[in-house]
């Protein structure tokens, strides 16, 4: 993976694990709404709503985006270092038990390790919902697509209210494993997301994806409106013209039930690559 080029000061902090001078950072007093990204690889690390004023001299957060930040022993043997879980770039240190917030946690982060991306106005943001097998692997690829702002995995298309993972796996709830994609319409279009959807799974399989078998692993596009449905139908016709037997279902969006915390950003937490998904260029 190609990372952003760091200037000498950024290299000193992120690679050589230095520390910027207190009260000198760009984001100490920034409380605009948005996301804080890794300076080296652009991975979203922190949400603005988790930032608080600690008067410690560096930006402080009491929570991270699930799976984005890795903790490890610091070289001094006393503190806990935090690094970007994607590229390993040094962020700062994490402290607990100080009582600043109800979460009792303070991520003390160098501003120079971060970029800030303000929230887009609502008309620039949109949501898309896809089922393409195990949602761990599907999320892995969508998180790496330019223009995708946020992702969540969950369940859709069934009849049970607030299903659990175990209930979905039993095959009695009717739900599919689904990814919710929040994207910037100025940077990526719905049709582009559809193309990625088709390229990262085998859309000819029915109620399965690779070794995973069951209706929860079915391929399905949950569209928000007729325009999205028409785009999906257009691409399906293109695939059929290439002699693919397309098994993908098209259904109107229904209630999205967010999956359990340990499923969110799974591969960002455990590392590695999906076992049942890979990308095959088609379009």
Active-site annotation holds for 134: yes
**Active-site residue, from 38, 84, 108, 276:** 108
pLDDT of residue 1: 67
Number of Cβ within a 10 Å radius of residue 78: 8
Q: What letter would DSSP give residue 59?
A: -
pLDDT value, residue 133: 96
Residue 115, classed as helix, strand or coil, is strand
What gap in Å lies between CA 162 and CA 154, rounded to an integer?
10
122-270: same fold as 8-118?
A: no
**Sheet (strand 69-73) strand order:** 51-52, 60-61, 105-109, 90-96, 80-84, 69-73
Paired residues of 129 in beta bridges: 180, 222
Tokens of 256: 């999205």
As a whole number of Å, the end-to-end CA separation of the chain is 22
For the chain, what are the domain ranges? Answer: 8-118, 122-270
Based on the number of CB atoms within 10 Å of its own CB, is 145 exposed (0-12), middle (13-18) or buried (19 or more)?
Answer: middle
Residue with tokens 């303070």: 106
What's the confidence (pLDDT) of residue 92? 97
Residue 275 CB contacts under 8 Å (≥ 6 apart), including other chains:
137, 210, 211
Instruction: Compute the distance between CA of residue 213 and CA of residue 131 in angstroms, rounded to an integer.
Output: 14
pLDDT tens per residue, range 93-133: 999 999 999 999 999 999 999 999 998 766 788 999 999 99
The Cα 197–Cα 209 span in angstroms is: 13
Please say whether the beta carbons of 124 and 130 come within 8 A. no
The confidence score (pLDDT) of residue 229 equals 97
The CA distance from 215 to 177, in Å, is 9
- Distances from the Cα of 127 to the Cαs of 47, 95, 139, 150, 176, in angstroms? 18, 35, 14, 9, 17
**Which 3 state secondary structure label does DSSP give 79?**
coil
pLDDT at residue 271, rounded to an integer: 85
Q: According to the model, what pLDDT value does residue 215 have?
A: 95
CB atoms within 10 A of CB 93: 20
Residue tagged active-site, from 41, 56, 87, 134:
134
Protein fold of 122-270: 3.30.1060
The answer to whether 252 and 223 are in contact (CB under 8 A) is yes
Into which CATH architecture does domain 8-118 fall?
Beta Complex (2.170)
Q: Tell me how far CA of residue 140 lies from CA of 96, 169, 183, 194, in angstroms.
A: 30, 21, 15, 15
Ranges of residues in the chain with a pLDDT under 50 are: none
């Amino acid at each position: 993976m190609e990372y952003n080029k760091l200037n000498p000061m950024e290299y000193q902090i992120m690679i050589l694990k230095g520390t910027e001078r207190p009260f000198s950072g760009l984001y100490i007093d920034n409380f605009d709404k948005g996301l804080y990204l890794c300076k080296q690889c652009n991975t979203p690390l922190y949400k603005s709503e988790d930032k608080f004023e600690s008067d410690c001299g560096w930006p402080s957060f009491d929570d991270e985006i699930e799976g984005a930040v890795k903790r490890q022993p610091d070289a001094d043997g006393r503190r806990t270092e935090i690094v970007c879980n994607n590229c390993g770039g040094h962020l700062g240190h994490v402290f607990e038990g100080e009582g600043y917030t109800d979460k009792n946690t303070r991520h003390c982060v160098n501003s120079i390790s971060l970029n800030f991306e303000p929230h887009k106005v609502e008309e620039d943001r949109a949501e898309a919902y896809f089922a393409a097998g195990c949602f761990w692997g599907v999320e892995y690829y969508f998180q790496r697509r330019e223009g995708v702002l946020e992702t969540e995995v969950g369940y859709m298309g069934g009849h049970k209210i607030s299903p659990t993972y175990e209930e979905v796996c039993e095959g009695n709830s009717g739900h599919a494993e689904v990814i919710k994609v929040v994207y910037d319409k100025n940077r990526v279009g719905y049709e582009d997301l559809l193309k990625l959807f088709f390229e990262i799974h085998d859309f000819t399989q029915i109620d399965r994806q690779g070794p995973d078998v069951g209706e929860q692993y079915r391929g399905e596009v949950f569209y928000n409106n007729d325009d999205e449905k028409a785009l999906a139908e257009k691409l399906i016709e293109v695939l059929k013209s290439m002699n693919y037997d397309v098994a993908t279902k098209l259904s109107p969006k229904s209630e999205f039930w967010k999956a359990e915390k340990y499923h969110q950003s799974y591969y960002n937490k455990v590392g590695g690559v999906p076992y049942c998904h890979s990308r095959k260029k088609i379009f």
